[in-house]
Homo-oligomer: A and B are copies of this chain.
Amino acid sequence: MRSVARITPLSGFPEWLPHERLVEQELLGRIRRLAELYGFVPLETRAVEPLEYLTHQGETSKEIYAVRRLADTDTTPSELGLHFDLTVPLARYVQEHRGKLLFPFKRYQIQKVWRGERPQEGRYREFYQADLDVVGDGDLPLHFDAEMPALMHELLGALPLPRATVLVSNRKILDGFGRGLRRDDTTAVIRALDKLDKIGPPAVHDLLCDDAGLDPKEADQWLALAAVRSPDTGFVDEVAALGVADDLLDQGLQELAAVMAASAALPTGSVIADLHIARGLDYYTGTVYESTIAGHADLGSVCSGGRYDDLASSAAGALPGVGISIGVSRLLGRFLGGDMLGASRMTPTCVLVALVADDTRAQSAGIARALRARGIAAEVFHQPLRFGKQIRHADRRGIPYVWFPALDEGAADSVRDLRSGDQVDADATTWTPPRDDLRPRVIAHIDSGPGSGSP
């Protein structure tokens, strides 16, 4: 195979080393297992969508990668693009297969997405998202919104991350508050409130007056609303005290109260009603979710989502949905990069079977086969070097055990634990390592609450 002179990393396209991929795979596996425990079905859509379809979807600021066959002439317009999220493909998939799906359609989807944005720390051009959504045919009870915070709490708790807090609000509260204040278009207001975490209330007050054209008193009211934050349904009274009345506002408060009530069984403080959450630039119409992890506020929301009234308006009726999305690569970038996450070893191999001599290779291969047959990852060293070298090979990879085949007929094999140095007689058809040694484990160096550690 010919090589090219310059082999350099592509900015924004992260690639892990194998032991880091072991960690990524473990995290994706935990998300998958939990999604399935909750009865979400797996879905995978193609990487490409018609370009026309991608560019017509709400948020067009997401930079799209266009795709075309190289064999087509340079002037052939691209007809396809790489998907930039997993919601747009879901909408298309559900429309395309509506007659074959069972509703409410609960699906999870873990795939790479692509965005041609300017690469910067924590922003990738290719990254994993893990999405869980429920889509209804015609209607979708609020119950599904109410279940979501518990799922988010469990999902984030299953990952080896610092303690997570789930934040919930409802778009109808902001919209209804605006209607109560005779303000039909709240876009500029929401845009300003979205900056609260970054620039703080006084600067947002300025924005509300200067950019959104509010008088200082109304700006105060919006800031008071956005400051409401409660671990239970207490926010209802706090908002009422602001003296703004509107039906849509009431509906939003009721919906949010129902969601908070359903989360009451969770540890106090794990789910917070936080009225400054807007997910302003997205297409949500009701409940909205965000979540932050302790000590990493600068990461922003690591798992977000919400309710949309209609995933795809069509003659066959509305497809309402509610869902969440985890930016897996961003999390990994932070925690692998900071050496806060690692794998207990560099390879799945649990046992390296030593090779005594070329003509005893069949003996070593038989031992490895016997171990594998019982689910113990094993490989035979490839050359009959002296044992010291074979042991070093295992040690450099973090392989915990080296197996020494018996040299004489009737003698026993032995196995050495490289960490303790203990060596014991063993039979490949019965020997079993401690459960923790079977597969590489994820090691978390995270000094925080109940979400940390590796289960």
Contact = CB atoms under 8 A, between A and B. Distances in A.
Nearest to A154: B372
Contacts of A96: 7-9
A335 interface: no
A235 to B, nearest CB: 21
A40 B362 contact: no
Contact of A56 (B2, B14, B102, B383): B2
A92 B7 contact: yes
A381 to B, nearest CB: 10
Copies of this chain in the oligomer: 2
Contacts of A331: none
A403 to B, nearest CB: 13
Interface in A311-364: 311-314, 346-349, 361-362
Contacts of A126: 46-48
Interface in A256-306: 262, 265, 283
A39 B378 CA distance: 6
Interface string A39-80: 111111111101111011110000111111111001001101
A191 interface: no
Contact of A38 (B106, B372, B375): B372
A91 interface: yes
Interface residues of A, number: 105
A65 B56 contact: no
Interface in A11-61: 13-19, 21-22, 24-25, 36-48, 50-53, 55-58
Contacts of A47: 47, 112, 114, 126
B21 A43 contact: yes
A100 interface: yes
A82 interface: yes
Given A4-B52, A7-B96, A57-B2, A37 B348 contact: yes
Interface string A127-144: 000000000000001011
B44 A1 contact: no
Contacts of A101: 17-18
B71 A116 contact: yes
B67 A42 contact: no
Contact of A48 (B13, B43, B107, B141): B13
A9 B160 CA distance: 39
Nearest to A97: B17
Nearest to A379: B39
Nearest to A366: B265
A377 B81 contact: no
A69 B116 contact: yes
A260 to B, nearest CB: 14
B91 A3 contact: yes
Contact of A361 (B42, B64, B143): B143
B4 A53 contact: yes
A397 B102 contact: yes
B348 A39 contact: yes
24 contacts: A1-B57, A2-B56, A2-B58, A3-B313, A4-B50, A7-B92, A10-B48, A13-B48, A18-B41, A21-B44, A36-B439, A38-B372, A38-B377, A39-B377, A41-B348, A46-B126, A63-B69, A63-B71, A65-B67, A65-B68, A67-B67, A74-B77, A102-B346, A144-B382
Closest A-B pairs by Cβ, 4 of them: A39-B379, A36-B348, A69-B116, A18-B41
Given A47-B112, A65-B69, A141-B383, 7 more contacts: A7-B92, A10-B50, A22-B42, A38-B377, A39-B347, A46-B126, A265-B362
